[in-house]
């Protein structure tokens, strides 16, 4: 069984964090909250998300799985006002998700969890460098890079976090010194990433107060931040591109 009440904003944040990677996802329910783990069809980007039950105003669930069409859900959540609470309930008989908000009731069809792409194995990575910065700064850096290129290099040089983008004719470089960051752990880090993917991830991460990046040399980047007022956590993993000489 599953029944929960949550502020609409928190639910929207949760959906957005996952829908930037996949269109359909499996929600794993436990009495303590819910988790989602998904990888995009090209195996390039991964999301793993946890929302604890205390993010909800009310939360009752037994262990189970729900297959959800995220675009559908996000479309319906567009009807909810910012401050309003939304009630979610699994109708076991029809196997539909009932969504209630200020007088409105939706019943949406769930997907067969077996039809959704298998949950990925998570690479176990020990990444040498780590940077913590404001979500807003992260968003600005990515936006700056999009103006000149499709790719961005992220790296650490001493106690400076740098981002570089190189287009056919134009270049961008952004240096963030220690005092502009919330924290930095130096290490050998320099990797190239596709902005297609990173821009989608930053839509969610950009709203967080703190975003932690873990980087290595030609290794995936881990992007970690909190959502739902600190009761939820998002971890992205994005594979690097091969640097052309």
Partner 1 sequence: MTSLCVSCKGKGHCGRPACPILEKFKPLGTTKKLSDNIFGSSPPSVFVGRYGYPHVSAGPLVPPDVVGKEAGTFDDPGSWNGLGIGDIVRLRSSLVRSNMHFNVKDAATPDSMLQKTQELALSQTPVDTEVWFYKAPRMDLRFDGILSPMGPAGEVTKLDIAQNPVVPRQVDRMVGDCDVAAADAVKEMYSADISTDHINRLLSIGLLGKKRKIVPTRWSITATDDMVGKMLAEDIRYYPESSEIQVYSGELHGNHFEIMVIPGPLAFELIEIWMPRAVWSGGTTHVEADWEDHNGKKGYSNLGGGYYAARLPVLEHLHDLRRQATVFTIREITPDYWAPLGVWVVREAARYALSLPPLKFDSIDAALTDMSIRLNTRTDEWYHKSSLLDRRLNQRTLLDFL
- Under the rule (CB under 8 A), what is the footprint of partner 1? 23, 39-46, 115, 120-121, 123, 125, 194, 219-220, 237, 239-242, 244
User: Least CB distance from residue 19 to partner 1, whole Å?
Assistant: 11
Contact 171, 165 (CB under 8 A): yes
**Between vectors from CA 206 to CA 41 and to CA 145, what angle results, nearest 5°?**
75
User: Least CB distance from residue 205 to partner 1, whole Å?
Assistant: 18
User: Least CB distance from residue 38 to partner 1, whole Å?
Assistant: 12
**Smaller CB separation from partner 1, 42 or 83:** 42
**Smaller CB separation from partner 1, 23 or 210:** 23
* Residue 115 vs residues 67, 101, 109, 119: alpha-carbon distances, Å: 8, 29, 14, 11
Rounded CA separation 42/65 (Å)? 24
**Smaller CB separation from partner 1, 82 or 121:** 121
User: Least CB distance from residue 201 to partner 1, whole Å?
Assistant: 14
**Smaller CB separation from partner 1, 7 or 200:** 200
With a CB cutoff of 8 Å and minimum separation 6, the contacts of 133 are: 161, 176, 180, 181, 182, 210, 211, 213
In the numeric block, the tokens 């799985």 are attached to 65
**Smaller CB separation from partner 1, 206 or 240:** 240
Half-sphere exposure for 166 (CA within 13 Å, toward CB): 6
User: Least CB distance from residue 89 to partner 1, whole Å?
Assistant: 28
**Smaller CB separation from partner 1, 23 or 146:** 23
User: Least CB distance from residue 227 to partner 1, whole Å?
Assistant: 22
DSSP H or E stretch at residue 59: strand 58-61
Instruction: Rounding to the nearest 10 degrees, give the CA dihedral for residues 85, 91, 96, 101.
Output: -20
User: Least CB distance from residue 213 to partner 1, whole Å?
Assistant: 16
With a CB cutoff of 8 Å and minimum separation 6, the contacts of 77 are: 8, 11, 12, 15, 86
**Smaller CB separation from partner 1, 9 or 200:** 200
């Amino acid at each position: 069984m599953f029944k929960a009440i949550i502020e609409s904003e928190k639910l929207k944040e949760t959906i957005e964090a996952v829908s930037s990677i996949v269109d359909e996802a499996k929600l794993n329910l436990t009495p303590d909250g819910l988790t989602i783990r998904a990888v995009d069809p090209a195996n390039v980007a991964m999301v793993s998300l946890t929302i604890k039950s205390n993010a909800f105003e009310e939360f009752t669930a037994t262990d189970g799985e729900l297959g959800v069409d995220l675009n559908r859900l996000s479309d319906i959540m567009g009807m909810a006002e910012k401050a309003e609470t939304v009630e979610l309930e699994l109708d076991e008989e029809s196997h539909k998700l009932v969504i209630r908000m200020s007088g409105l009731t939706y019943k949406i069809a769930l997907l067969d969890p077996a039809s959704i792409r298998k949950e990925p194995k998570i690479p176990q990575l020990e990444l040498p460098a780590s940077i913590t910065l404001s979500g807003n700064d992260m968003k600005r850096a990515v936006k700056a890079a999009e103006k000149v290129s499709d790719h961005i290099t992220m790296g650490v040089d001493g106690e400076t976090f740098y981002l570089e983008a190189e287009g056919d004719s134009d270049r961008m470089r952004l240096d963030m010194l220690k005092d502009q960051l919330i924290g930095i752990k130096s290490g050998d880090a320099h990797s190239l990433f596709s902005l297609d993917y990173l821009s989608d991830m930053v839509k969610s991460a950009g709203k967080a107060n703190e975003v932690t990046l873990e980087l290595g040399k030609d290794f995936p980047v881990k992007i970690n931040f909190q959502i739902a007022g600190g009761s939820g956590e998002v971890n992205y993993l994005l594979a690097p591109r091969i640097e052309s000489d």
